[in-house]
Amino acid sequence: METVDQLGSVEIASAVASGELSAVEVAEASLAAIEAREPAVQAFIEVSAALALDAARATDAKRAAGERLGPLAGVPVAFKDNMHLIGTHTTCASRMLEDYESVFTATCVRRMLDAGATPVGKANMDEFAFGSSTETSYFHPTMNPWDTGRVPGGSSGGSAAAVAAGEVPLALGSDTGGSIRQPASFCGVVGLKPSYGAVSRYGVVAFGSSLDQVGPLGRTVADVAVAMDALTAGGRDPLDSTSRDLDAAFSATLDQGIEGMRFGVVADLMEAEGLTEEVRAGLRLAERALEDAGATRVEVELPNISSAIAAYYVLGPCEAFSNLARFDGVRYGYQEPGCATLAEQTAKSRARGFGMEAKRRQMLGAYLLASGVYEQYYYPAQQVRSLITADYERAFESCDVILMPTSPRAAFAFGEISDPTQMYLSDTFTISNNIAGSCAISVPVGLGAQSGLPIAAQLQGPAFADALLLRFARVLEVQVGTLGVAPSFAGKGSVPR
């Protein structure tokens, strides 16, 4: 018998709108799945059952009254725990904010709720989004549903794992250097980093303000497209000065095909150090799939992409140091008791409230912004940013999208990577896109022949070509297929339809 966890967001919303399913039934199914699967996955920091059931009842009441329902009517959604939602804590997976209760709701969350989504909880993450494995969470690690001895990626690891385990069909994450796409790759789901400015960041706790972007993770490209319809509804958010109107109909144009279009391939990246053979095989499969759909392969160059990680780990820590200065135990955050002076209280509160990676990045940012060092590193990093952005602009004169790996390998085991600099290399193929501010998506292309774990391809598009990017992703998905819920979790604890 088909179970609710086998349905995508579009199918759930359609079934709720027609009365075939009630929103309460779907919410209860999602909550049952979470209860059954969380001991093995630990994707959530907080489950908001009361909020979910209240929202579901409101959706059912609207349908009973004959009111028009939104495109996400009754769809259970998990929100990364750096997104404010009244009625929940917003902890950023840190001791620093362990007890912080949201006093407002982020615009991205509000737009999902306005579209009818059911908020089932807050997903685990790397502390303050600093990490690529969700191992830096203060509360607990999250397990990869495909192999619970392996990481789900990060920093949006909880969001990706919740979708892959069938707990929810849709989740929101944030992406500063690959934090949506890399966990999507590891967990075998679809993850979109929209163009910078496409989705409001108001109410999302900042890591790197010039790099952060909110985006959806779903089981299918259609899930992601309908989420983008909701996230961009209403246009520019006046509460986020970087946001803008995005005149695009994501779901409506999803199946228009790519006949006669061009996708670019960067030959050097296919020989990059650390890229596994099973990932190369997945990329070759993706190339053939796009060509079979009528697109033409062209070779393009991104000559400065090798400098992206160096630039990112100057710009990111500098912005993080500035953004996290407010968490001092006075204005916000954990407060160390028994201190004699304000200086002592601030020092001890920050020392004991932040984890090791959060402290490492802030200390690096403090150093890089110091007098005499700033000019040596920060200015050159901004110059590299301009060069990388110009490289992309030139490349997109020759093609509509660029095909490249998402991650150099499949998910790694817990504890396998202990050197921070090696962990940072997990984002080798994703960081340049954040630096340029353009859009990118990770799409599963099967299971690796050696690892048996999900492998993904990444498609990158020009800024504000998000709808076209989703068309390419949809074609790739149709040609290659989807992975769905991780087999050991499919059907476990869900309600039969």
Active site residues: 80, 155, 179
Contact 265, 297 (CB under 8 A): yes
Give which of 13, 15, 10, 9 is closest to 497, Cα–Cα.
15
Contact 7, 487 (CB under 8 A): no
Q: What is the rounded (10 degree) CA torsion for 158, 162, 163, 167?
A: -170
Residues 6+ apart with CB under 8 A from 282: 405, 445, 446, 448, 455, 456, 457
- CA angle, 180 as apex, 175 and 181 as ends, to 5°? 115
- Number of neighbouring beta carbons within 10 Å of residue 413: 11
> Alpha helix (H) ranges present in 399-457?
420-424, 431-436
* Lookup result for tokens 């110091």: 370
Residues 6+ apart with CB under 8 A from 188: 146, 164, 444, 447, 453, 454, 456, 483, 486
Residue 490 class from Cβ within 10 Å (0-12 exposed, 13-18 middle, 19+ buried)? Answer: middle
167/35 Cα distance (integer angstroms): 9
Sign of the torsion angle spanned by Cα atoms 74, 459, 242, 354: positive
- Number of neighbouring beta carbons within 10 Å of residue 106: 26
Query: Considering just the CA atoms, what is the radius of gyration of the chain in Å?
Result: 21
Could you tell me the end-to-end alpha-carbon distance of the chain, in angstroms, rounded to an integer? 7
Both tokens of 154, joined, read 């990060």
Dihedrals φ, ψ of 112, to 5°?
-65, -40
Specify the DSSP element, H or E, that contains 77.
strand 76-80
Contact 134, 39 (CB under 8 A): no
Both tokens of 122, joined, read 């807050």
